[in-house]
Structure 1
Amino acid sequence: MTATDLDSAIENAVVSRVTDIVEKLDASRGGVAGRVVIGVRTRREPAWHGPVEGEVRGHPVRYVACPSVLSVLSALALPPADGSAYEVLVVLTDRDEGELGDAVMARLHREHLHEVSKYTLLQDLLRTRQLDPRLRGRDNAWLVDALVELARAGGLPNTTGLSFGRDVALRHVVRNRLAVDPATLDLSALITAVDDAATVTRWRELGADERRGITEHLVERLGRAADVVLRLAVARDDVVPELLVADVLTRAPEDDVAAARAFGAFAHSRFGSDEPSRADLGVAASAAVELVSRSDTQRNWQQVRHADALLAQLNAAELAHHSRLLPSGLTSRMERAATTLDETDLLAVEEHHATGDLRPQVRRLRAAVRLRRWLDSAPADITTVPDALRRHARDLAWVDGELTQVRRGSANPVVAKALGRIAKRAGARRGELDRQFARALPEAAYTRPDGVVAVETLLPEVVAPLARRHKVLLVVVDGMSGAAAAEIARSIEDNPRLGWTEVVRSPDGGREAVLAAFPTETTYSRTSLLTASLTAGTADHERQAFPGHDFWPPRTRAVLVHKAGIGGSSGADLGADLDAQFTPRTEPQVVAVVLNTVDDALGRGRQADDPAWAYRDVAHLPELLDRAAEGGWVVVLTSDHGHVLEHGSEHRPDPTGAARWRLPNGGHQPDEVPLTGPRVLVPGGTAVLAATEDVRYGARSHGYHGGAALAEVAIPLVVLLPPGVEELTGWAVHSQGPPDWWTGRQAAPPPKPAAAPKRKAKAPDTQPDLFGDEPAPESRGALLIGGETFVNTHKGQPANRVLKPEVFRDVVDAVLAAGGRMPVADVLRAAGTPGRNPRGLVAALGRVLNIDQFPVVDLIDDGRTVVINEKLLDEQFPEGRR
């Protein structure tokens, strides 16, 4: 709006006010006669740019601008007009009533100066057809003033000929004052708005009435927390840190004396005697936490650090663990979790926003909690080699992995001390199991124990049968332990885009381990693996023997590639020679590749910095998996031996052997085991091996192999089916997954004893047995499959894709008996299909039970647990609900 437009609008407002007064005079009984002088007070030096003389309701009107008392007196002395009932003289002045004096005021209408109506002025400025009548109220005077100011500054849209309501007016003012879009305004957006210095300055410069009016409006929309935010914006330069501190104080228990003292000091210093409620402050604080959690800017993290300092100024640093955002809160939570090793305290750590910055530390805390659960499970003793190998593949490999984590320690002294305690306890128990294993091991030096795959029989017993029907990629990761293999396999499984399915030979869905040759070194164990014979040798021996094995299917093309044969060249990431081996052929194919990443890491100390393994950490393994997936190859991932890591071993120098074994010299200590037999491949067939990971004979390194610790002797075996192949004859889907102590799952309760058979009905001519046993009630599963809803749904499925009703009955009964959730291995056994892909089973169950996509049955825990929602089951299949 230009200055001319504004002057015109003001003059129109004056005319409107004069017209209103004249109408009232005409309506008064008897009317008036002579001259009526209307005094109008202007906010600035009076000026009149319109016609000086005019007419209102038939009465002549004269407008006179009077910038001084003298000019007012001159105007009053003007001669009256003739020929009218009365004349109206409008005196416009910026003088106040006291300056004009009583004599002048006595000659003015109503003996006072009239104000131009802000409501009329606003309507003239906006040129609207109609203004909301509510704007006339005293409570909305601030709003009209704000709108006039915006209109004068051109800050309002063109509303010519339109109605202008109060809600629209409020939206315009809020948008201008707080620089936010009222249509999408929420508490987080309001905090974002007052986090801007220019907006805060503008907010503070507003009059108290306008701030109060805008606040009341936003409280109506957003709740009392909006008042907290806007009052803080007046009292403090940076609202966000204040709210982050408030989050800590409001989350602390109300009966906490220190928290109550800090809360009182905080509230009074920020809000004075009119303190907000704890609940309102907490809502505003939570919104600020969520806002900062969603962002990752340098300013936000400066505000987080500032909040930490503010908390310390309130002498409330000890309350920081209540914050899921402050760095001191994470430290406090980690120390608490380390001290208690409790799942709830660990969850509080993992919920903290800053855990990503300390991911390795949090991982070690999680490992400590898992080891505590393992110890609480009272792990059984080891009595035989087959039992030990099975235990390692299914349980102890995870123990080894978690021990590796906690032994990395922490820079925080409280956490470090706790990690040291659990490492000592778990390590002692794990070492005792190694000693028990060593006592059972001498027999395995003479012959392979029954039911065990040995390293020299892995090719003929496992790989060759697979090669009869599938192309096989054998990946030998030199030195890969069971712990590393478990993590690598898990990383493959956790990436659904890869599409691999792990299978095992055991009907119960659990993994097995392969028995290494002795000593557990590459020269002996890897050569025995690839030559399929107990022998020591080199890579040349392996390459010569591998293609010519007589157990390969006829016409098999068997190729072995060592480290030197792998490497990108001529645009091929695996090298042209290896890449060519994946060319589809008509004859059976077995390609074996030796990868040295893990073994090399023992010398470089890679695991000393980051003990975790994923498939992408193994050089060339991702590319090999890609080739195998594209060509439909079955992958056998294995090793030649495992390894142990250095964590304070005792050095017993002996040059007769290597890092973890020596030749006999007449005796051995309790943590050593002498082995003699054809599976001991050193000259003479006798060696003394370190039985625990606490002994070494060679130079210090980051890791070792060659000894008799279970982690060295138990060779991992992971078999993967390529995408699109879900089942393998003679193999079961690996359904056991990590042990229950590792996942935190509760072990499934033992199955309930079968109900007693129903009593046979007596002949009709006999009396009923009034005191006989009641028939056993039918199970929920039995009632389910007998109900009309189930029967009709089941019949509607293709006959070749639907499970038998008895499978539904048995699975429902088993899962509900376990509390509604059960490991997939147990569910597969309940269904009578231990080798089936659990995803396929759950999908088949869901086609009948999940009516209208309601998840009655589902897979959770990355496909390791089946859940049945009993409430949804009863709603969807009401027959027989309990």
Structure 2
Amino acid sequence: MTPADLDSAVENAVVSRVSDIVDGLDKDPTAVGRRVVIGVRTRREPVWHGDRDGEIGGHPVRYVACPSVLSVLDALAAPPAGKSAYEVLVVLTDRDERELGEAVMARLHRAHLHDVSKYTLLQDLLKVRQLDPRLRGRENGWLVDALVDLARTGQLPNTTGLSFGREVALRHVVRARLSVDSTALDLTSLITAADVPGNRARWQALAPAERLGITAHLVERLGGAADVVLRLAAARDDVLAELLVADVLTGAPEDDLTAAHALGAFTHSRFGPDEPNRAAIATAATAAVEIATGTDSPDVWPRIRHADTLLAQLNGSAIAYVSRVLPSGFTSRLERAAKTLDDRDLAEVRAHHDATEQSAQVRRLHAAVRLRRWLDSRPSEITTTSDALRRHARDLAWVDSELIRVRHGSSSPEVAKAFERIASRVGKRRAELDIRFAGTLAEAAYTVPNGVLGVETVLPEMIAPLARRHKVLLIVVDGMSGAAAADITLSIAENPRLGWTEVVRSEDGGREAVLAAFPTETAYSRTSLLTASLSSGNADTERRAFPKHPFWPPRTRATVVHKAGVAGTSGLDLGAALDAEFAPRTEPQVLAVVLNTVDDALAKGRQSDDPGWHYRDVAYLPALLERAAENGWVVVLTSDHGHVLEHGSRHRPDPTGTARWRQPGDQVHEDEVVLAGPRVLVDGGTAVLAATESVRYGSRSHGYHGGASLAEVAIPLVVLLPPGTDELDGWAVHSQGQPDWWTGREPRKPTRPPRARREPAPAQPDLFTGDESRGARLVAGETFVNTHRGQPANRVLKAEVFRDVVDAVLAAGGRLPVAEALQAAGTPGRNPRGLVAALGRVLNIDQFPVVDLIDGGRTLVINEKLLDEQFPEGR
């Protein structure tokens, strides 16, 4: 619209307004014979481009633009010029009534400044065919004013020849004032729009009537929460921060006095006496939390921190734990959970938005909760060496791993104290078990106990049999403890892209540990491993002996590569010599690679927020796993001994040995053990070894080995089948997984042996006792029978397997470790993925997951609700 067009529209609106007034004058006998002065207020400096003199209803009318009070006085002083019963003088001014003064106002018609005809002006401005009649109502005066203002500034689209309804008008005004489309608006987008500085400044500058009108419209669409947002936007400069504070105040219990006082101060200072209701504030606050947790915008974080400051100003810091967004909320939740070590409080910490950013702190807290569970499980005493090694592989290694994390501490003094308390209790209990274990080692100094692999027997008793049918990659991670191995193998299992399957020799699906040689040092134990004999030596000794073992299958290519031979050269990540070992060959192959990352860390320490280990933390291990997977090698991951970390050890200087052992001489303390026999490889065959982690004989370091604690003596042993190889004759899939206290599962009683197989009888439910099991009702139902019959006979499990597995899983609450599920199926040690696939071909009708694997393949689940829906006859 050009300036001329705008001026013309304004003048038409003035004429329309004056015409209405003159029509009224004709009916007013007091107006006859006198001059009438009509004052018209304009929104900008008045101009009049049309004819100065005109006529309305036979009455002469003069229009005078008066941009100042003086010009108004001049117009009033001019003599009448008309000959009719009265003359109409129209004074156009942008001055208000106060500026004109009482004397001037008394001479104006009705002592009042009239507005122009906004309806006529709007129609002229828009050039529309028809305006919504509702716009004429007094309650919509603000909307017409807004539209006129937008039309004047060219912010309305071309509406020539169209009808213009109230809803269209509202949409245009809201879009112009808040930069949002009201038809697609929700609370989160309204908050976001209100916090844009330009929008907020524009909103705060609007006339109160227009703000109220827009607010009423948006309340109709979004509810009372919109009123909260827009009133905050009119009074405050950070709507998001204000609402994040409101989230804390409305989320706290209503009987909390701190929250009640803070909420009262908040509402009074933000809204005055006309306070919104609590529910509306809470709804708006919830939308603000969605914004804060749903974006990574750098603009949000300063405002989250600002909310913390505002909460403190309201004396509400004590209830910050309510917030899952504010940093103080995370700290409060963390401190509370550290104090209680309760699973529910841990879940509150993990639900906080900062949990991802503070993952190291959360992981340590989780470790503390797990250790509390372990203590609550009342771990039993150790009675034999073999029992201790098995328990370490399946249970105590996980304890050691979590204890290491808790001892890493916290920046919060309160959390640090809580961690120290639980670490002290667990450390004391572990020391007691280590001393018990050391007391069983007298026999192990002479011979390897029954049912246990000694480090010197790993090659002939396990690696050689594997090599008869598979290429074997033996990865010796020097110094890797059971705790480190637990972390590393878990990280491998949790990466589904790797595709490795862990297998064990035990039918129950649990891991075993290897007995180290004494002292538990590289020169003794690693040499014993690679030479397959109780001997001391070095890398040269091991390289000479390894290829010549008589137990290797005929024509076996047996090679050992130490640290110096593992290095990327010529563009190859493992180096040319080692990379060549993975070239396809027809002869049997055993490749041993020694990696020193863990052992090196004992001297140098590790710069990491998480003291645990990931397979990517071990130099060259990812590349070795990748190469082995590509070429179908079975991987045996082990070490030569474990280690303990420095944590306030007592120094008993003795130069006759090394860090964790000494020659006999002085008295033997309670936390030491004397071992003598052919498996003690020091001169004389006798040594005193530290039995707990708290003793050292040498200088201080980050970690030590050489002693008789379980963490040093129990060598981890992990066997991994490459992708595509799910089973290994004589081996079982590792199905026990982490201990119950680690996962948080309720401990279960051992599963009863599978029932004798019998063909399912026709469905004949006992209507009086209802004793028939869910599994029996399943396999007798028509849906199951027809689905089962439609499967190829050589690929479908017998019906009684379905019956027994369903009964076992449902009896355990719908979740069962795969070892127990395989036991119920009568196939212990087999691949659980194969069992689930076979069950799923019948049960997972139309791909609905009635049966599935979770926990990285460790747990079999049956969705009983889906089972009932898919097989309704057995409900």
Alignment correspondent of 2:791? 797
Q: Distance in 2 between matches of 1:103 and 1:204?
A: 37
Alignment correspondent of 1:734? 734
State the one-letter code of the partner of 2:172: H
Alignment correspondent of 2:803? 809
Structure-2-length-normalised TM-score: 0.91
1:453 aligned onto 2:453? yes
Alignment correspondent of 1:201? 201
CA deviations 1:363-397 (Å, max 9, x no partner) are: 22211111110011011111111111111111000
Structure-1-length-normalised TM-score: 0.90
The residue correspondences of 1:565-714 to structure 2 (distance < 5 A) are: 565-606=565-606, 610-665=610-665, 667-714=667-714
1:218 aligned onto 2:218? yes
Picking from 817, 839, 847, the partner of 1:845 is 839
Aligned-pair distance for 1:184? 4.0
Task: Specify whether residues 219 and 472 from structure 1 end up closer, same or farther in structure 2 by C-alpha distance, changes over 3 A only.
Answer: same
Q: Distance in 2 between matches of 1:93 and 1:533?
A: 113
Alignment correspondent of 1:442? 442
State the one-letter code of the partner of 1:646: E
Task: Specify whether residues 145 and 774 from structure 1 end up closer, same or farther in structure 2 by C-alpha distance, changes over 3 A only.
Answer: closer
Task: Specify whether residues 343 and 72 from structure 1 end up closer, same or farther in structure 2 by C-alpha distance, changes over 3 A only.
Answer: same
Task: Specify whether residues 673 and 183 from structure 1 end up closer, same or farther in structure 2 by C-alpha distance, changes over 3 A only.
Answer: same
CA deviations 1:62-90 (Å, max 9, x no partner) are: 7642345776897964357xxxxx99989
State the one-letter code of the partner of 1:269: S
Q: Residue 779 of structure 1 contacts residue 813 of structure 1 at CA under 8 Å; is this kept in 2?
A: yes
Q: Distance in 1 between matches of 2:810 and 2:332?
A: 40
More displaced 10-residue stretch of structure 1: 358-367 or 211-220: 358-367
SS in 2 for 1:606: coil
The residue correspondences of 1:179-578 to structure 2 (distance < 5 A) are: 179-578=179-578
Q: Residue 477 of structure 1 contacts residue 594 of structure 1 at CA under 8 Å; is this kept in 2?
A: yes
Aligned-pair distance for 1:753? 9.9
Aligned-pair distance for 1:148? 0.6
Q: Residue 845 of structure 1 contacts residue 857 of structure 1 at CA under 8 Å; is this kept in 2?
A: yes
Q: Distance in 2 between matches of 1:139 and 1:591?
A: 88
SS in 2 for 1:440: coil
Q: Residue 646 of structure 1 contacts residue 701 of structure 1 at CA under 8 Å; is this kept in 2?
A: yes
CA deviations 1:392-426 (Å, max 9, x no partner) are: 11100001111111222223222222111111111
SS in 2 for 1:637: strand
Task: Specify whether residues 838 and 169 from structure 1 end up closer, same or farther in structure 2 by C-alpha distance, changes over 3 A only.
Answer: farther
Q: Distance in 2 between matches of 1:612 and 1:103?
A: 91
Task: Specify whether residues 520 and 45 from structure 1 end up closer, same or farther in structure 2 by C-alpha distance, changes over 3 A only.
Answer: closer
Aligned-pair distance for 1:38? 11
State the one-letter code of the partner of 1:632: G
Q: Residue 601 of structure 1 contacts residue 607 of structure 1 at CA under 8 Å; is this kept in 2?
A: no
Aligned-pair distance for 1:340? 0.9
Task: Specify whether residues 99 and 611 from structure 1 end up closer, same or farther in structure 2 by C-alpha distance, changes over 3 A only.
Answer: same
Q: Distance in 1 between matches of 2:298 and 2:120?
A: 50
Q: Residue 228 of structure 2 contacts residue 281 of structure 2 at CA under 8 Å; is this kept in 1?
A: yes
State the one-letter code of the partner of 2:716: P
Aligned-pair distance for 1:37? 9.3
Task: Specify whether residues 47 and 713 from structure 1 end up closer, same or farther in structure 2 by C-alpha distance, changes over 3 A only.
Answer: closer
SS in 1 for 2:528: helix
Q: Distance in 2 between matches of 1:88 and 1:498?
A: 97
Aligned-pair distance for 1:471? 1.7
More displaced 10-residue stretch of structure 1: 684-693 or 426-435: 684-693
Task: Specify whether residues 273 and 489 from structure 1 end up closer, same or farther in structure 2 by C-alpha distance, changes over 3 A only.
Answer: same
Aligned-pair distance for 1:299? 4.1
State the one-letter code of the partner of 1:822: L
State the one-letter code of the partner of 2:776: A
Q: Residue 39 of structure 2 contacts residue 109 of structure 2 at CA under 8 Å; is this kept in 1?
A: no
Q: Residue 335 of structure 1 contacts residue 415 of structure 1 at CA under 8 Å; is this kept in 2?
A: yes
Task: Specify whether residues 72 and 414 from structure 1 end up closer, same or farther in structure 2 by C-alpha distance, changes over 3 A only.
Answer: closer
Alignment correspondent of 1:150? 150
Task: Specify whether residues 846 and 691 from structure 1 end up closer, same or farther in structure 2 by C-alpha distance, changes over 3 A only.
Answer: same
Q: Residue 38 of structure 1 contacts residue 113 of structure 1 at CA under 8 Å; is this kept in 2?
A: no
1:65 aligned onto 2:69? no
Q: Distance in 1 between matches of 2:606 and 2:127?
A: 76
Aligned-pair distance for 1:537? 1.1
Q: Distance in 2 between matches of 1:730 and 1:119?
A: 93
Q: Residue 635 of structure 2 contacts residue 719 of structure 2 at CA under 8 Å; is this kept in 1?
A: yes
SS in 2 for 1:449: coil
Q: Distance in 2 between matches of 1:227 and 1:489?
A: 55
Alignment correspondent of 2:69? none
Aligned-pair distance for 1:788? 1.2
Percent identity among equivalent residues? 70
CA deviations 1:625-677 (Å, max 9, x no partner) are: 11112212111111011111111222222222221112222752222222222
Alignment correspondent of 1:124? 124
Q: Residue 62 of structure 1 contacts residue 88 of structure 1 at CA under 8 Å; is this kept in 2?
A: yes
CA deviations 1:685-731 (Å, max 9, x no partner) are: 22221111122222221111111111111111111112222222222
Q: CA RMSD in A?
A: 3.3
Aligned-pair distance for 1:123? 1.8
Q: Distance in 1 between matches of 2:261 and 2:108?
A: 63
Aligned-pair distance for 1:283? 1.8
Q: Residue 638 of structure 1 contacts residue 715 of structure 1 at CA under 8 Å; is this kept in 2?
A: yes
Q: Distance in 2 between matches of 1:578 and 1:263?
A: 69
1:855 aligned onto 2:849? yes
Q: Distance in 2 between matches of 1:579 and 1:138?
A: 87
Q: Residue 35 of structure 1 contacts residue 89 of structure 1 at CA under 8 Å; is this kept in 2?
A: no
Number of residue pairs aligned between Structure 1 and Structure 2: 853
Query: Which 5+ residue runs of structure 1 have no aligned equivalent?
Result: 81-85, 762-771
Aligned-pair distance for 1:825? 2.0
Alignment correspondent of 1:764? none
CA deviations 1:576-602 (Å, max 9, x no partner) are: 111111111121222110000000000
Q: Residue 37 of structure 2 contacts residue 108 of structure 2 at CA under 8 Å; is this kept in 1?
A: no
Task: Specify whether residues 477 and 105 from structure 1 end up closer, same or farther in structure 2 by C-alpha distance, changes over 3 A only.
Answer: closer
Aligned-pair distance for 1:526? 0.5
Q: Distance in 1 between matches of 2:113 and 2:602?
A: 96
SS in 1 for 2:641: coil
State the one-letter code of the partner of 1:380: S
Picking from 824, 828, 831, the partner of 2:825 is 831
Q: Residue 757 of structure 2 contacts residue 800 of structure 2 at CA under 8 Å; is this kept in 1?
A: no
SS in 1 for 2:840: helix
Q: Distance in 2 between matches of 1:61 and 1:835?
A: 110
Query: Which 5+ residue runs of structure 2 have no aligned equivalent?
Result: 66-71
Q: Residue 105 of structure 2 contacts residue 112 of structure 2 at CA under 8 Å; is this kept in 1?
A: no
More displaced 10-residue stretch of structure 1: 801-810 or 558-567: 801-810
Alignment correspondent of 1:869? 863
SS in 1 for 2:443: helix
Task: Specify whether residues 238 and 538 from structure 1 end up closer, same or farther in structure 2 by C-alpha distance, changes over 3 A only.
Answer: same
Q: Residue 54 of structure 2 contacts residue 62 of structure 2 at CA under 8 Å; is this kept in 1?
A: no
Aligned-pair distance for 1:868? 2.0
Task: Specify whether residues 752 and 7 from structure 1 end up closer, same or farther in structure 2 by C-alpha distance, changes over 3 A only.
Answer: same
More displaced 10-residue stretch of structure 1: 420-429 or 484-493: 420-429
Task: Specify whether residues 645 and 48 from structure 1 end up closer, same or farther in structure 2 by C-alpha distance, changes over 3 A only.
Answer: closer
Q: Distance in 2 between matches of 1:243 and 1:45?
A: 42
Alignment correspondent of 2:40? 41
Q: Residue 52 of structure 1 contacts residue 62 of structure 1 at CA under 8 Å; is this kept in 2?
A: no
Task: Specify whether residues 16 and 640 from structure 1 end up closer, same or farther in structure 2 by C-alpha distance, changes over 3 A only.
Answer: same
Q: Residue 726 of structure 2 contacts residue 831 of structure 2 at CA under 8 Å; is this kept in 1?
A: yes
Q: Distance in 1 between matches of 2:799 and 2:132?
A: 69
Q: Distance in 2 between matches of 1:472 and 1:830?
A: 32
Alignment correspondent of 2:779? 785
State the one-letter code of the partner of 2:827: T
